[in-house]
Amino acid sequence: MINGTSGSGHPHDLPAAASAVLQQKASPDELLAAWLSATVYCARPDRPGLYVADTDDGQVVGVCTSLEELARFAGECDWFSTTGADLLAQLPPGVDIVLDPSGLRPLRISPAALKVRQGLRLNHQGDKGGW
């Protein structure tokens, strides 16, 4: 498995986070933390960019969590790796990510769900009116 680290020094395991989200045992924020620092792998096209596939549900790009998953998905191919944060920044608008598309539990992710929303904080008002 591919491990990354956050600025806090705690390891984040992207495949484990994706699996936990699918099982409703982790939040989207935990997936985001793992995604941003993880190394991800993609098939490399002849020209700079990403292979984008058209599906009935819109455009997607296959992203893998390891070279083994990439080989399962794309076979023998040229490839590149980058961080999840960098891939997210380079992704064309309207294109979703399919994480480990040929794996046991592929996960389709809308990039909007992974955007870091600076300064957004939700507070809970307690029974006594305090925050």
Domain-located, residue 119? no
Average pLDDT over residues 81-102: 93
- Sign of torsion, CA 84 87 91 95? negative
pLDDT of residue 116 exceeding 90, the answer is no
Q: What is the mean pLDDT of the chain?
A: 81
Confidence at 111, pLDDT banded by 50, 70, 90: confident
Domain-located, residue 98? yes
pTM over 0.85: no
* DSSP codes of every residue in 96-124: EEEESTTSSS-EEE-HHHH---TT-----
Domain-located, residue 94? yes
- The number of folded domains in the chain is 1
pLDDT of residue 105 exceeding 80, the answer is yes
Q: What is the CATH number of the domain that holds 102?
A: 3.40.1350.90
pLDDT of residue 120 exceeding 50, the answer is no
* Residue 39: predicted pLDDT: 96
